[in-house]
Amino acid sequence: MALARRTGIGLLRGLALALLTPLGMPLFVLRIFGLILVPLGMGLLVFVPSTLAVRALANLHRRLAGQWLGVPVPQPYLPPPHRGVIGLVKRMVTDPATWRDQLWLLLNVPVGFFLGVLPLGLLANGVRGVLTPFAWSPNGAGPRPGALGGVDYVGIPLTSRENAVAAFPIGLAFLVALVWLTPWIQRLHGRFHHALLGPTRRSELASRVRRLTETRADAVDSSAAELRRIERDLHDGAQARLVAMGMNLGAAERLLDEDPAAARALLVEAREASVAALQELRNLVRGIHPPVLSDRGLGDAVRALALASPLRVEVEVELPGRLDPPVESAAYFAVAELLTNATKHAGARQAWVDLKHEDGVLRMTVADDGHGGADPSLGTGLRGIERRLGTFDGTIFVSSPVGGPTVVTMEVPCTVRR
Amino acid sequence: MRVVLAEDLFLLRDGLVRLLQAYGFEIAEAVADGPGLIRALVEHRPDVAVVDVRLPPSFTDEGLQAVLEARRQVPGLPVLVLSQYVEQLYARELLADGSAGVGYLLKDRVFNGDQFIEAVRRVAGGGTALDPEVVSQLVARRSREEPLGRLTPREREVLELMAEGRSNAAIAQRLFVTEKAVGKHISSIFSKLDLAPCDDDNRRVLAVLAYLNG
């Protein structure tokens, strides 16, 4: 039953895709026409809309290839340039994906159509073959003209009862082939779309380079900002206190003989300033790289974070060893930021942190029972995490419906040092 | 009183040796790394060990690990751990075996010689010396919840000082009240937190810390 259902769905989907193929022809012609007219100026009015239409059609097929045929096809287009309409047109003309789309429009008519209707053809031949012996009439010399029509079946002249009976197993074979081959045909159909609509190795590399350029710029920016913050903190904090301490000590030195009591008071002040300066340096160090992180690694550092948090935090860690220090640090600060958000913005009482390393990927889940409503596109904190993890090709996914709960899942590909 | 000292920075080690000697301690050995520390602790079995958390060769929490290992071999060995920063997780691990004679202080506390020496003596005597920073974090974490929220501000103060490991007399002196008043506060705290009252100072501190860490 499930087999019949699967085959039926495959057949209908193939048919639907086959019916879409003629749509490509007018677009194909229109775009060529538009391109020829571009030098005359007017062509743009044809070329740009037709290209957009082609892309919409191609994107529909990319989506359907993933949903129906089991072959997801990513978009290969170059991102639009920043400047103007002319740049946009230029990018459209020079993007190799545009021309691979055009080729696809052409080839999809025979190939896409054929692969789409193939299951239907198998079904029709199968049904006809199976029914032939029952429809064949022994009266008269030839086959009875009827619903099944025709004078032969797949090349067998239906002139005798034996031949008509022989059509039965052949028809059965067609039906078996239909059930057997439909998933395979679908995959082949998907691969056809992937070959022309998917990114080539070259465009894949190009988009990888683009992504690396972006994340590298982000990394440089954020580390520069971080250095400025450290400089400012040192300047306003510990450095200022050390200056005050030096002045107090100098004054105490001068007063030592004349007014020992005043000198003593200044010395006490100096000692207190040194304690405060140390406190500030400690906080600063914690913000740069918490010592427990280098001592014990991510698992214990997150446990320490949980202990310091005003929330009740349950921590679950499954890490087979230490991660690379930069990944550890990015992951730690991501979790710290999320716990702070849960406390400050979500009004949570309890939070859960789950760290796991599996198949070369660090998976981190931070959940809280707060009132939700966190929007990654608005919160600078979440954007910051995204950027920080992006440097390591990491991703963040936020689910935070209004009313809660908030669940944030982060993944960073990385290796474990055992 | 015999002390084993572990500190890798020469200047600080030297300063600590002089400070302890000035207060009449005898330095059994002053070491500069983790493996040396375990050996010295097991060999000398000092009255108290004063140990820096971060020691060579790994420059991680080597001192803490050495102390925990030594306490496994010599149960109840009094240790006072010093650190540039205090970490709840480490305080928890030091207190985990439930036996007394544990100290965990910020290094800056050394600046105040009298108080530091008092803490060393307390730990040597089987008491506890937790840094106020550790304690205030512990209390702050639980203070939003019942029943800690029911304590009066003064009771909270007494609780914090008690969790640091101070005796009734020291608390009374600190808060400018009589020892009797401190005793009253303490029995009130114990009944509010639903802890069994006990007279032994050290056991009482451990009970409070176990409660706060729970």
Residue B105's Cα: distance from chain center in Å?
6
Helix axes A2-20, A44-67, angle to 10 degrees: 170
Q: Which of A179-193, A356-370, B135-149 has the lowest mean pLDDT?
A: B135-149
Element (H, E) at A364: strand A361-368
Q: Which residue of A has its CA nearest to B90?
A: A304
Rounded to an integer, the average pLDDT of B139-162 is: 83
Q: What residues of chain A lie within 8 A of the CB of B140, using their CB?
A: 310
pLDDT single digits (tens) B92-141: 899 888 777 899 999 988 888 889 999 999 999 999 999 998 898 888 87
Task: Give pLDDT tens digits for A241-281.
Answer: 899 899 999 999 999 889 999 999 999 999 888 888 888 89
In a shared domain, residues A123 and A237: no
Q: What is the spatial distance between Cα A52 and Cα A58, in angstroms, rounded to a whole number? A: 10
Same domain, A43 and A181: yes
Interchain pair B85, A291: CB under 8 A: yes
Give the residue range(s) of CATH 3.40.50.2300 domains in chain B.
2-130
CB pairs under 8 A between A and B: 46
Q: Does B13 touch chain A (CB under 8 A)?
A: no
In contact, A149 and A118? CB cutoff 8 Å = no
Q: In chain B, positions 54-113, which contact chain A (CB-CB < 8 Å)?
A: 54, 60-61, 84-85, 87-90, 92, 107-108, 111-112
Residue partners of A172: CB distance under 8 A and separation at least 6: A126, A129, A130
Taking phi over 0 as left and psi of -120 to 50 as alpha, with beta for the rest, A22 belongs to alpha
Contacts B112 to A, Cβ<8 Å = 271
Q: Which domain holds residue A9?
A: 2-197
Residue A303 with chain B: CB contacts under 8 Å = 89
Question: How many CA within 13 A on the CB side of residue A141?
Answer: 0
Chain A residues with CB inside 8 Å of B89's CB?
Answer: 292, 296, 300, 303-304, 307
Same domain, A163 and A104: yes
Q: Measured between beta carbons, which residues in chain B are less than 8 angstroms from residue A291?
A: 54, 84-85, 87
Q: Which of B61, B85, B137 sits opposite A296 (nearest CB)?
A: B61
Model confidence at A15: pLDDT above 50? yes
Contact A358, A319 (CB under 8 A): no
Q: What is the CA radius of gyration of chain A?
A: 35
Residues of chain B with pLDDT > 90, as a percent, come to 52
**Which of the residues A295, A309, A315 would you substitute to probe the B interface, choosing the one with the greatest number of B C-beta atoms within 10 Å?**
A295
| Residues A232 and A278 both lie in one domain | yes
| Together in a domain, A60 and A189 | yes
- From B153's Cα to the closest Cα of chain A, the distance in A is 19
Interface contact B140-A271, CB threshold 8 A: no
Minimum Cα–Cα distance from B54: chain A residue: A295
How would you label A162-187 residue by residue, b for 16+ Cβ within 10 Å and e otherwise? ebbebbeebbeebbeebbebbeebbe
2.40.50.100, 3.40.50.1000, 1.10.3720.10, 3.40.50.2300: CATH of B2-130: 3.40.50.2300
Residues A173 and A245 in one domain: no
Which residues in chain B have their CB less than 8 angstroms from residue A332's CB? none
Section A24-41 average pLDDT: 85
Contacts of A275 in chain B (CB under 8 A): 108, 111
Together in a domain, A33 and A148: yes
E strands of A104-232, at which residues?
152-153, 156-157
Together in a domain, A376 and A256 = no
A327: domain CATH number is 3.30.565.10
Query: Which pLDDT score is estimated for A138?
Result: 60
- Tell me the C-alpha distance between B192 and A203, whole Å: 69
Binning pLDDT at 50, 70 and 90, where does residue A165 land? confident
Q: What is the ipTM of this complex?
A: 0.85
In a shared domain, residues A351 and A262: no
Which band of pLDDT confidence, cut at 50, 70 and 90, is reported for residue A140?
A: very low
Domain boundary (A264, A288, A312) is at: A288
Q: Given A197, A231, A251, which residue is the final one in a domain?
A: A197
Contacts of A271 in chain B (CB under 8 A): 111-112
- Same domain? A124 vs A187: yes
B52 contact A CB<8A:
no
**A283/A403 same-domain check:** no
Cβ-defined contact of B61 to A309 (cutoff 8 Å): no
Domain count across chain A: 3
The three-state secondary structure class of A399 is strand
Residue A141 has pLDDT above 50, yes or no: no
Residues A211, A187 within the same domain: no
The string of DSSP codes covering B70-99 is HHHHSTT--EEEEESS--HHHHHHHHTT--
Q: What are the pLDDT digits (tens) for A381-413?
A: 888 898 889 899 999 999 888 887 999 999 999
Q: Yes or no: is domain B134-213 CATH 1.10.10.10?
A: yes
- The dihedral through the CA atoms of A227, A230, A236, A239 has a sign that is negative
Minimum CA–CA partner of B58 in chain A: A295
Q: Please enumerate residues of A whose Cβ is less than 8 A from a Cβ of B.
A: 271, 274-275, 278-279, 282, 285-286, 291-292, 294-296, 300, 303-304, 307-310
State whether residue A362 is helix, strand or coil: strand
* Mean pLDDT for the stretch of residues A177-182: 91
Final residue in a domain of this structure, among A272, A288, A304: A288
User: Could you tell me which of B70, B15, B16, B63 has the C-alpha nearest to residue B43?
Assistant: B70
